Amino acid sequence: MSAQDHARTRPEDIAAGEIGGTWSHCHTFGAHELLLPSTVEQLQEVVAASRQVRALGTRHSFNDVADTPGTLVNLGGFPECFELDDEGGTVTVSGGSTYAMVARKLSSTRWALRNMGSLPHISVAGAASTGTHGSGITHPNLSNAVRAIEVVEADGTLRRFTREDPRFPGRVLSLGALGVVTAVTLDLVPDFEVRQDVWFGLPWSTLLEDLEEITAASYSVSVMPDWSSRDVAGKVWFKSRTEDGGPPLDPADHGARWAAVVEGKDPEGQNPNHTVQGGVPGPWWDRLPHFRPDAEPSRGNEIQTEYFVDRARGAEALDRLRAIAQGFADLVLVSELRTVAADALWLSPSHDRDSLAIHMTWRNDPAAVLKVLPLVEEALAPFDPRTHWGKWFTLDGELIRSQYPRLDDFRSLADGADPTGKFHNEFLRRTLGFGGPAVL
Q: What is the pLDDT of residue 9?
A: 46
Q: How many domains does the chain have?
A: 2
Give the pTM: 0.94
The answer to whether residue 371 sits within a structural domain is yes
Helix (H, G, I), strand (E, B) or coil at 49: helix
CA angle 181, 122, 328 (to 5 degrees): 120
Q: Tell me the pLDDT tens digit for each residue of 123-145.
A: 999 999 999 999 999 999 999 99
The answer to whether residue 296 sits within a structural domain is yes
Do 162 and 301 fall into the same domain?
no
The answer to whether residue 145 sits within a structural domain is yes
Q: What is the pLDDT of residue 299?
A: 66
CATH code, 302? 3.30.70.2520
Do 91 and 143 fall into the same domain?
yes
Q: What is the pLDDT of residue 317?
A: 98
Do 181 and 202 fall into the same domain?
no
**In terms of residue numbers, what domain contains 155?**
82-190
Contact at 8 Å (CB) between 214 and 300? no
Do 184 and 199 fall into the same domain?
no
Last residue of a domain, one of 190, 215, 249: 190
Q: What is the pLDDT of residue 66?
A: 95
Q: What is the pLDDT of residue 50?
A: 95
Q: What is the pLDDT of residue 6?
A: 35
Do 245 and 108 fall into the same domain?
no
Torsion of CA 58, 60, 65, 71, to 10 degrees: 30
Do 211 and 323 fall into the same domain?
yes
Q: Where are the beta strands (DSSP E) in 39-110?
A: 53-55, 71-73, 82-85, 90-94
Q: What is the pLDDT of residue 15?
A: 83
Do 298 and 186 fall into the same domain?
no
Q: What is the pLDDT of residue 332?
A: 98
Do 270 and 365 fall into the same domain?
yes
Q: What is the pLDDT of residue 298?
A: 64
Do 150 and 227 fall into the same domain?
no
Do 175 and 235 fall into the same domain?
no
Q: What is the pLDDT of residue 168?
A: 98
The answer to whether residue 53 sits within a structural domain is no
Q: Tell me the pLDDT tens digit for each residue of 31-75.
A: 999 999 999 999 999 999 999 999 998 998 999 999 999 999 999
Q: Which residues of the chain have pLDDT under 50?
A: 1-9, 437-440
CA-to-CA distance for 329 and 22, rounded, in angstroms? Answer: 24
Name the residue among 38, 42, 29, 41 with its Cα closest to residue 71: 29
